[in-house]
Structure 1
Amino acid sequence: MTELVDFTLPKALEAHEPREAHCGRTRDDIRLLVGRRGSGEVSHHAFRGLPDLLRPGDLLVVNTSATLPAAVRLDRIAVHFSTPLPGEDDGLWLVELRRRTGKSSVPYGGGSPNEWIPMPGRANLTLVRRQTDRLWAARLSTSVVPYLRRYGTPIRYGYVPREWPTAAYQTVFAHDRETGSAEMPSAARPFTTELVTRLVSRGVLIAPLTLHTGVASPEAHEPPYAERFEVPESTAALVQHVRSSGTGRVIAVGTTAVRALETAVDANGRVQAAKGWTEHIVTPEGGVRAVDGLLTGLHEPKSSHLMMLTAIAGHTLLRATYEAALAEHYLWHEFGDTNLLLP
């Protein structure tokens, strides 16, 4: 396997809160690090300057999945609801059990098949079987999504010391009909309605798809598992038009958009309308066939997402980009700065 970029992430470069938590700041008041594969150039910009970095005819493909308040906190543990299990009845979900440690949590290795856990609101969660070392297949005694809307809070990890409302974890593209992500598709978080208007006015195209993200694995760095997705016919047609006409570049907003698009590529290399579950993992060996560039956050060392970034940018450019991000003190995680990789 191609060597992946490795580095040490200093604690000081972890974003602890939304940028708009500071008086006078807005979501798009973050930095944007741009890497260009052709020249190998790395440059620094404000995210608000994104319209000036794109061309008329470029296509941004965005994820419209809305974020669930997918964590339910009990006295000593927390339950993170991830996704329903493909091919199973609607009541069976993947969940992660985490031991609460003050304001944070760590993976909890306990539990046994058929054990039931009392939940708020007189509900019960029954552990059915271990699905992975970290995740359980489990059944809640009531419908999961309405239950989470009432009793859940957004999933957060130790680098975010206080709770923020679910609205802080929604993007401007999120659609209520598409609620289903356990964690925010965070690459699109810095977009504002004003910025979208400027992009459209410049002639940049925007097309939607949906991929519902499961829970991350900040401790285990596991590859992603099966996730629900849909690439609409209109989006597939627009991607094909942009690619075949040569009038612009297809730029995915987030690794979720890449995964969905690459799943929808047929044997002839064309993006088709598709929906269902994807287990596709983008690697440097397999490459990409649907996207030309990627707008994404900065990913942790050993993260499986770095395989995808290497497939798009190449090892040399990605290494230079991350060295620049570390040297210039860019911020990581969902409330952090952003990286644009261009062909």
Structure 2
Amino acid sequence: MSITFHLPTALHASTPPERRGIRRDQVRLMVSDKHTGESIHTSFHQLPQFLRSGDVLVLNASRTIPALLYGKWYRQGQLLSDKVEIRLAHRLDERIWQALVITEGVKKGDFFYFSTKLFAEVIRVRSGFALIEMRFSLSGAFLFEQIYALGQPIRYEYVQNPWQLEYYQTVYGSFPGSVELPSAGRAFTWEMLFRLKQKGISIAFLLLHTGLSYFLGNQVNPEENGEEYMIPDRTATLVNQAKQSGGRVIAVGTTVVRALESAVSPTGQCMSTKGWTRLYIHSHYSLQLVDGLLTGFHEPEASHLDLLTAFVESHQLKQMYDEAIQQQYLWHEFGDLHLILPIST
């Protein structure tokens, strides 16, 4: 069942909190009990009081890259367009990426020139699939160097100003590869992470490089949009220890939910593994590892809302979102946060 609602324009967060005069960790936080559906309205700064010793908080350590490029479009040596927007989506190997080209009619064998140092050849176009594959003229660190030199952060229509890349990072992001900010973790500061550890809450990291959430105005179906992930030994161990000792596993972001639930062994344990996930989590999916979720507020009918219905009933989620709109929470990567977890027993 799709969750539909009207999102007022005023609730689209277009400006980073730091540019609104508040710290990252001072955004608002809505805390919802996954059993009763009742919500508390507070500040993210108060997060530690809702977690307890023995819980494990799992964060995505992927770092955002400036994945929006502009190139000149050539076919058989002929210039077709002087400026085409290209959004990188997934890195397939050292020089090949899937990408979304914001124009029509691209064919295999076409070239895009980004600078005197960088160009790419289109090597695959699939009918009915929005992404093309392109092979760059550089590879590895040399390619990333040019992407950072030429690229901009991907932003959608609700963000009017071209904010610098630093605003699209979490403080702990360490491994470049996400084309969009893993935004659920944006509000964390090192001070907050230290406070949580002082309380006996374990902090664990995994890696999932986020892909595009929109293809030319259409939201992406997770089953059609694989994302690469990696779960380290330490994270698998901490998750398994929490499950065995009665602690709660709290995922920071839908990316973390997908990665963890993609790494379940036949015996129900979290495995240290890596691969690509196309896992589609919905109301009929039985979560095996994740007990709670910290996430932002999502667009009407988004697939992320389907994932949330694995935590709470659809009618409860609709009530939560109606309440969030009434309370004027802010949406998107620069907005407020929603914590869904088992509070009552």
State the TM-score, normalized to the length of structure 1: 0.91
Distance, in Å, in 2 between the alignment partners of 1:288 and 1:146 is: 39
Distance, in Å, in 2 between the alignment partners of 1:71 and 1:315 is: 35
Distance, in Å, in 1 between the alignment partners of 2:52 and 2:39 is: 18
Distance, in Å, in 2 between the alignment partners of 1:208 and 1:17 is: 27
Partner of 1:15: 13
Partner of 2:78: none
Q: Does 1:92 align with 2:96?
A: yes
Question: Which portions of structure 1, spanning 4 or more consecutive aligned residues, are displaced by more than 3 angstroms?
Answer: none
Q: Give the share of equivalent positions with the same residue, in percent.
A: 41
Partner of 1:320: 319
Q: Does 1:81 align with 2:88?
A: yes
TM-superposed deviation, 1:76: 3.5
TM-superposed deviation, 1:54: 1.1
TM-superposed deviation, 1:235: 0.7
Residue 119 of structure 1: which of 114, 117, 123 is its match?
Answer: 114
Q: Deviations over 1:156-198 (max 9, x none)?
A: 11111111111111102211xx111111100000111121121
CA contact (8 A) 2:95 2:136 kept: yes
TM-superposed deviation, 1:317: 2.3
CA contact (8 A) 2:13 2:159 kept: yes
TM-superposed deviation, 1:216: 1.6
SS in 2 for 1:311: coil
Partner of 1:296: 295
Residue 138 of structure 1: which of 130, 134, 146 is its match?
Answer: 134
Structure 2 gaps, min length 5: 72-81
Which stretch shifts more, 279-288 or 45-54?
279-288
CA contact (8 A) 1:36 1:317 kept: no
Q: Does 1:60 align with 2:81?
A: no
Q: Does 1:187 align with 2:194?
A: no
SS in 2 for 1:79: strand
| Aligned counterparts, 1:140-155, within 5 A | 140-143=136-139, 144-155=143-154
The total of aligned residue pairs comes to 325
TM-superposed deviation, 1:40: 2.0
Partner of 2:243: 243
Partner of 1:4: 2
CA contact (8 A) 1:185 1:254 kept: yes
CA contact (8 A) 1:28 1:192 kept: yes
Which stretch shifts more, 276-285 or 290-299?
276-285
Distance, in Å, in 1 between the alignment partners of 2:210 and 2:144 is: 14
Partner of 1:311: 310
CA contact (8 A) 2:261 2:288 kept: yes
Residue 11 of structure 1 aligns to which amino acid in structure 2? T
SS in 2 for 1:320: helix
SS in 2 for 1:240: helix
Distance, in Å, in 2 between the alignment partners of 1:275 and 1:245 is: 26
CA RMSD for the aligned pairs?
1.5
SS in 1 for 2:158: coil
Q: Deviations over 1:65-114 (max 9, x none)?
A: 011111113464211111123xxx5322110112xxxxxxxxx3332221
TM-superposed deviation, 1:293: 0.4
Which stretch shifts more, 110-119 or 252-261?
110-119
CA contact (8 A) 1:287 1:312 kept: no
Distance, in Å, in 2 between the alignment partners of 1:57 and 1:228 is: 29
